[in-house]
Each structure stands twice: as C-alpha cells, then as structure tokens.
Structure 1
Amino acid sequence: MRLKRLYLSKYKNLNDFALNFTGSSFIDVFVGKNGTGKSNMFEALIEIFRQLYEKDFQVGFDFELEYEIDGSDHFVGWEWIAERYYKTEDGERKDVKKVAKEDLPDNVILYYSGHNEKVARLIAEYETEFKRTLKVANEGDTREFIGIGKTYKSLLLSVLLLQPKGCKARKFICDKLGIDSVGEELHLVLKRPRYARQKDYDVDPFVPESRYWKALGITQTFLDHLDTVAKSKSERIRDEGYIPQGKEEYKDRYELFLDLKDFQKKFKKVSSQELFSNLDNLKTIEMLDHISLAIKLKDGTEIDVDQFSDGQFQSIYIYTVVELFRGKNCLTLLDEPDSFLHPEWQFDFLKQVFEIADDSVVNNHVLVTSHSAITLIPHQEKKINIFNLKKKKIVCHPIEKKKAIDTLSKNMIQYREDEKILSIIKEVQVEHKPVFFTEGSTDPKILKTAWRKLYDTRPPFHILYAFSCDYLRRLLQDERVLNEAKGMPIFGMFDFDKAYNEWKHILGDKTMLESDPYKGLATQVGTKNSYALMLPVPEVPEIERQVIKDKPTKTTFAHNSRMGIEHLFYGAPGIPEYFKSVDQPGGGTLLEVSANKTKFAEKIVPAIAPEHFEVFRPMFEFIKSKI
C-alpha cells in the first residue's frame, strides 16, 4: 500500500490542496509550523477512508485519491453534489458502495496522543459502530481502522514479547528496553464486555454455552483456543478462573494465569498479527481488562510490562506497528508522535524502523508529522515535505532535508549528511583528538575547568554533551563513531545514579579496569577502543553516604546512588549553600543541587581552589594512559 496523490477541494484551511507522494521510502515525513494543516490532512484522510470502508459514512468535501496496492494503481474521487457519485479515472461514474474491499488497504492505523480531539472523535465513532457487531463477527470481520494510544502499551509489548526468543522483533524490544528475561506466565483479566450488559448474558458455571458471557464468532474461537493453554503453576493462593460478581463490583471476571511455554506452543502457528488482532478485538469490546508479563531487567529489577514509561513506549511504538502489520497493506498515520520524546529518542525514532525493514517487503505506508529537527536527521529521504502558507493558501512541497532541519531548528542545529547531533563526527574529523562524551549538558564546561586547574593546559580530547545516559551508552558502542575516530579512543562519563545501569550494561560480566569508586569506575566496551567511566566519588562524608554502601569494601548503592558532577565540589568552602536537603519517602534526606547548573558551571566552579579538583585526577590519568 502506498499513497500516490491526494486532492482536497476544501477541508478546514486546506483549500484546493494537492499533494504528490513522490518519495521512495515507505516513510513520508511532513513538517511545518502549527496551524499550517498537517493534522488537517490526516483528518481528511481518515474521513475519506471511513467513507470507503463504511456504507453510511459520507464526507462533505470533494476529493481525489490515488494509491497503489500490490503493484496495481487505484483511483477514487468524490464530488460533493446532489448525485453524490464516484468518478473513476476514465470518467465512469460508480456508486460509493461498489468500491471492492480487495481494492482498499487492509488497515488504516492511527497513533493519537489525545491532543487532536477531532481525530479521537472520528476513531471513537468508528469503534462504536464496530462494537455493535463484534460479538457475532466471523473470520475477516476485524476492524479496518485501528486507533492506538497510550492504553495500548501493555498489549503491543506483550504481543511481541510472547514471540519465541529467536524472533528479531522480540530481541529488538528486549535490547531497547533493557529486558533480560520474561517470566513464566501470562496474566489475563477479562471483564464483562460492552455487549453483555443485560442479565441474559450472565455466566453460569454449569452452562458451558454461557462461558465468557456467550461470546460468538471469532471472539469465541479465540477464547476456546486460549482455554487449551495449561495453567501456570504457582504456590501463591490467588483467585483463578471465573470469579462471580457477588457483592464486589470489580468481580464478575476471569482471572487467567497461563503457562508461557505452553501458550507459545499452542499458538505457534498464530502470527503476531493475528494474535494482536484477536486481543485487540477483546479490547475493543471492552472485555480485555488487563494483560501482563513479569519482566526482569538487565540491572536485576523486576517489573510488569505496563510499568515502562510512556516515553519508552513511544520510542518503540513505530517499530512495533511496522512489525505487527508487516506484509499487510496498511496506511499508518502518526501525528507528532515525537513531541514529548527526549532528544536521543527523537534521533532514534525513524532510524529504528529501518533496522527491521530488511529484505522483507514493507507494505505499510507510514505518514509522520513532526516539529523535531532531530527526528529528521537519520531519515533516509533527501527531501522532506513542508507545509507553508503562500499567497493565503496552504501548500505542501518537498525541500532539501538540510533546509527543513534549519527551518525547524532556526539554524540551532548544524546539519551534514554524515553528522550526528552536535556535529559529533565533525568534531572528531576536524582535529585528530579523542572524544570524551558526557551525560550532562554542563559537564563539558566543568571538565575543561578541572583539566586546566590540574594540568594548566587545554584538554587533549574533545568534550561533547551526549544528551542522556542511554544515548551515551549507545554512542560508546556505535561502530560509526568508532570508525570516524580514526583509531583514537573514545570515552564516556556517567553520573553515579540510575545511569549506573547503562554503565553496568557495558560492563556485563567483564572485570573492571578500575574498581575503586573513589578513582572512578572504568570498563572497556568489549574489545573496542572505547571506555565507559563513572564519576569518581569525593571523600566527603555528606556525599559518600549517597553513593558508598560500605566504605571498607568500597561497595556502592549502584543505580540507587544519587551523585552528579556538582556533588564533587561539596567539600569546597561556600559550596554547600548551592545545595538543598530533600526529604525521602520512608525517612532520610538527600543533597540536591539548588543552584542553576549553567551558572554553577560557568561562574561558581572556576572560582574553586585547585585542590578541590584532585578528585578528577585518577580518572584523567586513566584517560591519559589510553591516549
């Protein structure tokens, strides 16, 4: 499935609007200022396809749409006049009801975060109509429109994690989210669905036909298949199976604890697409109340699948959609899905999609609107579609990617085809020096000051901000960065807090190159000329208690530590006044920086006496030994 041309007579601010989809990638990105019509184009496409899918839905504007499915071109047009007819490309008039189902995409998938009320309403209207028939739906009667928001986090992740260990998509999700292993059971909670509100649908344990509130069609078929899966074994006492309502409203539900290995065996021939579709049907009729898998992260933390943050979910959302609907003819609309992502996740947002688009045919045409210059950098297309107002008319036309990035960033981001964020590659190539990446934005200023205080020279390496601990880890492991380093080593310094997990991920089961936290823990990235360092701990009692668990053995609190680069100066005269004591749940306090960090790095740190920078010396000496 691929759109080729769209024409709208008048839809909101899109008047006499024409757009040709000329890119070669299966992803088309649209940028532009607020109010230029990006979201309106998505709304119009939703209405057009609703008219094509549904018998009784009609749009209130003229349109023409050309698209390709499986190598065949299709043209549909609608003129909003009294007769209300379709006009084919050769001029023949056809009734709206005669558009063949096989000539339409299998699905239109939409991600919406709630900021566009019109989009949410259009999808809600469609789903309401679909719910009326789903109880008795037969094979093939799955919904064409799939609106996915934050409530789909557990469902999307669970479907992919239920796949065998060797599955490429499952491995990607585990690597991206730091998952070490998945538990041994699948937990499902099913509640009374929307169609079964009347008493006639009550479950009677002695009447088999009443199981699952008398579900029929494909819903019943899937639930019958689910019943063949063995129950997981547990020594815990818990409610299982059907639980009558009684006096508690939260009951009248099924609690299913299924053995994961047996589930994978029984559903071996069920594709991830089909599994998602079946579970999505249960969700749509409001029967699926909860789905979860126990997960163990690489740092040893045990969580449920729904405990990942919304940001983490958004960072893999487009990947899961492309994978789950691989091979199907789909149109996917993502309206500013990167708006609230951290910069390093924005940078990876499109790049990760191409990692799964290997030799397989991608029939999913993905349209993305964005405001982020960072999101555009790894996009494979040389040109980007931009919405502009010209002569009181909204137009969309392709421009060079560099110009689009400059427009969005107002020239704050310098772009080259072979550059990464903050001109990382350029910095390596301009002067043959190693690169020292930092997690914090003000760390480079402090490190440069520290080097001058200790050695009275300029640092023999470039110091660059790498946005976050997650992105810093991946930079240290990135072969492209290592190749551009021309044989010179690269270094990265992590804060002693939750960033410890990223550092520990690099360490793995290797022996540390430096195991003394007072000198700065250090490890090598595999056998590469790349080194990951932890902030050294100052011998200041107030700071030690936030990092050091047992001083004689130099054991730390690992990821539960709380120390940033500013803490290293706490022992200097006058510095404690730039910190505040914060109460912690369950008792105790932590010292946190209360001063503006930029001002602290630029004004306060340079005035500190040289002896208070000695804490950096062991780490700097380690770096010197590797250059």
Structure 2
Amino acid sequence: MKVDKLHIRSRFKNLNNISIDFDKDNLMTVIVGRNGSGKSNVLEALVAIFRNLDLGETPPFSYHLVYRLGQEPQEGHDNNYWQEITIDADPIRGTLAKQYDVTVIDLLESSPLDPQSKGKQVSFSKLKRDKEGNAPYLPKYVFAYYSGPSDRLERYFRKHRTDFYRHLLKDKLDLKGDIRPLFYAKPHHSQFVLLAFFLSDENSPQRAFLREHLGIEGLDSIHFVMRQPGWAKQKGELFWGARGVVRRFLDDLIKHTLSPVKVTRQEDSSLTGSNIHNEFFHLFLPNVDALLNFSKNLSDDELFKMLESTLLSEIISEVSIRVKVKSSKDPLTFRELSEGEQQLLTVLGLLKFTGGKDSLFLLDEPDTHLNPSWAAKYLKFLHEFVPNHKTSHLLMVTHHPLAIAELQKQQVQVMWRDDKHQVHSREPDENPRGMGINLILRSDMFGLKTTLDDDTNQKLLVRK
C-alpha cells in the first residue's frame, strides 16, 4: 500500500483546500512543521477516510485521494503488478453511491502510468469490506500509534475493535491469520510484544534488539492477573465461562503456572467512594522455560494475538514481567524500563506482528521519549522491523530533527500556516541527508534563525 496524493477540499479541523504529496517510491514519508500546522490532522484525516471506506459510511469530508496496492507478479511478467486507486469523495453529493467516485488503473512496476488512461469505474458497493471480510481495493491493514494521552485517533478504531471482540466471543477467529483491518496500538501492547519476542530464536533480530538496545538479556518471570469479566455468566467456573480461542489459551496457560491462586478483593473505587469487589486469578510462570513450554505450538505473532485477544475479552487485569538486564544483578520489572524503551517496543512490535503486504502505518510522534542517540537510529529501527517494504507505507509525524537526518527531500513534507492561518504542505528545498543537525534546524524544515541560545545570540547582535 502506497499513498500517493491527498487533497482535502472541505475543512477537516485546520485543514482546508490542502494537497499533500507523499513519497510512493520509498517505505516512509515523514511530516514535520511547527505546532498547530496540522501534521497530526493529516494522519487523523487518513484514518477517518479509510475507516469510513472500510465500513461503507459517508465520507468525513470532501477529498481526492490516490494510492496504490501491490499485487503478485502476473503470469508472463517478472515485475510487481500494481493497482492505482483514485477516490473522489464528497458528502454533499446525495446518496452514498454518488458520494464516491472510484477509478482503478492496472499497471506493471516497469511500465509508467499512461496519462491518457481513464481506468475502470468501481462501484462503492465493491469498494467497502464485504461480509466475508474482503476488500480488494482497500489496504489490507491500517495501523496507528499516537504517543500522547489523547484518544484523538483511538476513537476511529472502536467499531473494528468491537466487531473483532464479538467474533472472538463466538469463536469465529483464526489467530494464525486474523487481525483487525484497522488496528490501534496502545501502551499495554508493549508487554505482549516483549513476551512474543522471547519466542524467537536467540540470534533473531528481535532478541538482538532486546540485548543491544534495551539491555535485556533474558526473561525472569511472568505474573498474570486475570479478573472476572463483566459479561461472566458462570461465576465460580474456572475462567468464568470464557470460550473459543481465549478459553483454549487460558486452559493451556494454567497447565504451566506455579500454584495458581484465586482471590476476591477490592478492584476499584467508584466516584462515590463505594468499594467494588471482584474475583481475581493469579497465574505465575516462573521462568522462560515455562513460557516456551506453554507456547511451543504458537508462533511469536500468534502469542501476541492471543494475549491481545484475552485483553479484549476483559479477562486480563494486569501482566507483570520481570527481566534480566545487563545493568543490574537483580531482575527488573517491565515498568522500571524507561518510557522511551516501552514506547519503542510498542511501535516495533506493531510493525513486526501486525504488518505485512499492503499495510499502512500511521505513527504520530512515536519518538517523543527517545534520547538523541535513539532518535538518530529510529528510522533504521523501523526499516528493520517492517515486514514488507515493497508494498507497505509508513507515514510519521515528528518534531525531532535527528529522525529525518538520513532522508531524501522527497521523503519529507513540511507543513506551515500563512498569515491568514491557511495550512500548506510542500517538499523541503534540500535533502536532509548530509546537512547535519545544525543546518536541518536552520533550514525551511524547522525554521530556526539560529541554534544559539537567545542570550548569547543577543550579545553577538550587539557586537555587530
């Protein structure tokens, strides 16, 4: 999946009559600009667009979007086969079918697009996802991550999460392949990523990353706290009547735990101060061998999906992981890792376990808590963990100049507001690669007149 061009015609937040030209020839496009310039709104607009397309709903605003989907090479051809999809959408056109004008052009990687080609028209009924989960003209997956506390992106994913949960309860999911077409990563996913990484070989990129960049040498123990969910009808039953893949997961897990304990205790305190009691089940895996024995029939991505599914079923209350680290003779809990370490693990796991062919990754300031050393390596980390560069696209918003230091200018979009508060977007004047941090900060990408502190700069101006 490669996003090519997006023209937002009617207002979406502070975006109105703005065109963004993404780099369809590389894995990633990075958006920079000052606060309030609309960077995050671009990612949110794309989420809103693909959500409504997937669900067959009215377009959220008027827009013109061009993107490509990669296909397997056609018979008699060695090059990848692409479909270029153009969607012209406007919510004021009348019926839903008239609100969307969809054109599809078939092309080979080696053949330039014929500007005279009009392509074929596709009805909106064939564009949206059908009851069997098929959507041949949409990206296979849209994944998003936002480092801030706001739910500005998460709310767009709730319908897909709810539908996934319903299928989960009805045992209609195959975790060897199924995942939500729209997936929003949250902080708790970082612990699931960590456990899944320990299923991989000692020499795998995942384990090497844990050792070299997080200083994690091994797994000490895992403490699962399960809770009676609100939907439980069989109170007193071992896992409260859980069914399907979640039940199979829990039944396998308890076989490898050490002295499971079920207790009733206060869960929370309401706004009125009254106590809420619930039943909890403590399951303890004493070492990495217990995890490996429990997961011997699972791949790393299947373990990740099973943990996430159990969380969605409202049964997981807490996961406490202790790891062996280079910096301490005693094991540390996962929560003792820095915010930056946890954040990085969440994003890389999102790419590794939920990515694949025709995936769109939308990352909003994922490098917020990273030090300069990691920020400079951040795009390299992303390159290593995206499963399919050829047919995946990663769009990222950042304020960190080091994050773009190795990019060509066509991989960057600079956003700004003019004197009338109109938002604009364009490619920078020069390639960030080779400029160095000082020149990047003083370029049109960040717009600093000087990198000196204000007091020193004022003194130099006076001397002049």
Alpha-carbon distance in structure 1 between the residues aligned to 2:392 and 2:252: 29
1:94 alignment partner in structure 2: 124
Q: Where do 1:232-271 residues align within 5 Å?
A: 232=258, 240-241=260-261, 243-245=262-264, 252-258=279-285, 260-271=288-299
Q: Residues 43-82 of structure 1: matches in 2 within 5 Å?
A: 43-55=44-56, 57-71=57-71, 72-75=82-85, 76-80=87-91, 81-82=93-94
Higher relative contact order (CA 8 A, sep 6+): 2
Return the letter of the residue paired with 2:399: H
Partner of residue 139 from structure 2, selected from 75, 83, 105: 105
Pair 1:289-2:317 in alignment: yes
Q: Is the 8 A contact 2:58 2:96 kept in 1?
A: no
Q: What amino acid sits opposite 1:351 in the alignment? A: K
Residue 130 (structure 1) shift: 4.6
Is the 1:27–1:366 Cα contact (8 Å) retained in structure 2?
yes
Q: Which residue of 1 aligns with 2:303?
A: 275
Q: How far 1:14 sits from its partner (Å)?
A: 2.0
Residues 101-148 of structure 1: CA distance to partner in whole angstroms, max 9, x if unpaired?
344333322212335443243345654565455322412564233222
Q: Deviations over 1:495-529 (max 9, x none)?
A: xxxxxxxxxxxxxxxxxxxxxxxxxxxxxxxxxxx
Query: Corresponding residue for 2:8?
Result: 8
Q: Is the 8 A contact 1:66 1:74 kept in 2?
A: yes
1:311–1:341 contact (8 Å) kept in structure 2? yes
Matches within 5 A, 1:148-167: 148-167=185-204
Structure 1 residues 212 and 270: alpha-carbon distance in aligned structure 2, compared to 1, 3 A threshold = same
Secondary structure at 1:15 match in 2: coil
List per-residue Cα deviations over 1:597-617 (Å, max 9, x = no partner).
x9xxxxxxxxxxxxxxxxxxx
Larger Rg: 1
For 1:78 and 1:61, how far apart are their aligned partners in 2? 8
What amino acid sits opposite 2:228 in the alignment?
A: R
Residues 1:219 and 2:252 aligned together: no
CA separation of 1:409 and 1:61: change in aligned 2, threshold 3 A = closer
2:96 maps to 84
- Counterpart in 1 of 2:257? 231
Please list the CA deviations of residues 34-91 of structure 1 after superposition, one character each: whole Å capped at 9, or x if unmatched: 2222111111111112112325x43331233333333332524433122122322134
Shift of the alpha carbon at 1:159?
Answer: 2.2
Q: Pick closer, same or farther for the CA change 1:115–1:362 going to 2, 3 Å.
A: farther
CA distance in 2, matches of 1:23, 1:189: 45
1:280 Cα offset (Å) = 1.2
Distance 1:213 1:65 in 2: 47
Where do 5+ consecutive residues of structure 1 fail to align? Answer: 205-210, 233-238, 415-597, 599-627
The answer (yes or no) to whether the contact 2:364–2:397 under 8 Å persists in 1 is: yes
Query: What amino acid does structure 1 have at the position aligned with 2:212?
Result: D
| Matching residue of 2:406 | 378
**1:367 CA drift (Å):** 0.9
Structure 1 Cα separation of the partners of residues 417 and 230 of structure 2: 46
Give the number of the structure whose residues are more often helix, by fraction. 1
Cα contact 1:23–1:381 (8 A) shared by 2: no
Report matched runs for 1:310-325 at 5 Å: 310-325=339-354
Using the alignment, how far apart are the partners of 1:357 and 1:214 within structure 2? 38
Checking the alignment, whether the CA contact within 8 Å between 2:340 and 2:367 is kept in structure 1 is no
Matched residue, 1:203: 236
The aligned counterpart of 1:387 is 415
Give the CA deviation at 1:352: 2.4
- CA shift digits 1:384-434 (9 cap, x unpaired): 2111335854232212233764232615569xxxxxxxxxxxxxxxxxxxx
Correspondence for 1:174: 211
Secondary structure of 1:180's counterpart equals: strand
- Output the aligned Cα RMSD: 3.2
Residue 330 of structure 1: aligned partner = 359
Identity of aligned residues (%): 25
2:409 and 2:25 map into 1 onto residues whose CA distance is: 7
8 Å CA contact 1:74–1:103 kept in 2: the answer is no
Per-residue CA deviation, residues 559-598 of structure 1 (Å, 9 max, x unaligned), is xxxxxxxxxxxxxxxxxxxxxxxxxxxxxxxxxxxxxxx9
Structure 1 residue 244: Cα displacement: 4.9
TM-superposed deviation, 1:281: 1.6
* TM-score normalised by length of structure 1: 0.56
Report deviation, 1:31: 0.6
The letter of the residue matching 1:163 is S
Corresponding residue of 1:187: 223
Write the letter of the residue equivalent to 2:188: T
SS of match in other structure, 2:36 = coil
Shift of residue 161 of structure 1?
Answer: 3.0
Q: 1:106 to 1:301 in 2, by over 3 A?
A: farther
Secondary structure at the aligned position of 1:42 is classed as helix
- Return the alpha-carbon distance in structure 2 between the equivalents of residues 250 and 106 of structure 1: 42
Distance 1:97 1:382 in 2: 31
Q: 1:118 aligns with which of 140, 152, 169?
A: 152
- Per the alignment, do residues 173 and 350 of structure 1 end up closer, same or farther by CA in structure 2, a change over 3 Å counting? same
Residue 347 of structure 1: how far off its partner (Å): 1.9
Conservation of the 8 A alpha-carbon contact between 2:215 and 2:326: yes
**Paired residues of 2:31 and 2:396 also in contact (CA < 8 A):** yes
Distance 1:262-1:166 versus aligned 2 partners, 3 A rule: farther
| Alignment match, 1:37 | 38
Matched residue of 1:189: which SS? strand
Using the alignment, how far apart are the partners of 2:372 and 2:449 within structure 1? Answer: 17
C-alpha distance in structure 2 between counterparts of 1:224 and 1:3, whole Å: 43
Question: Is the Cα contact below 8 Å between 1:150 and 1:310 reproduced in 2?
Answer: no
Instruction: Tell me the TM-score normalized by structure 2.
Output: 0.74
Taking the TM superposition and a 5 Å limit, the aligned residue runs for 1:478-497 are none
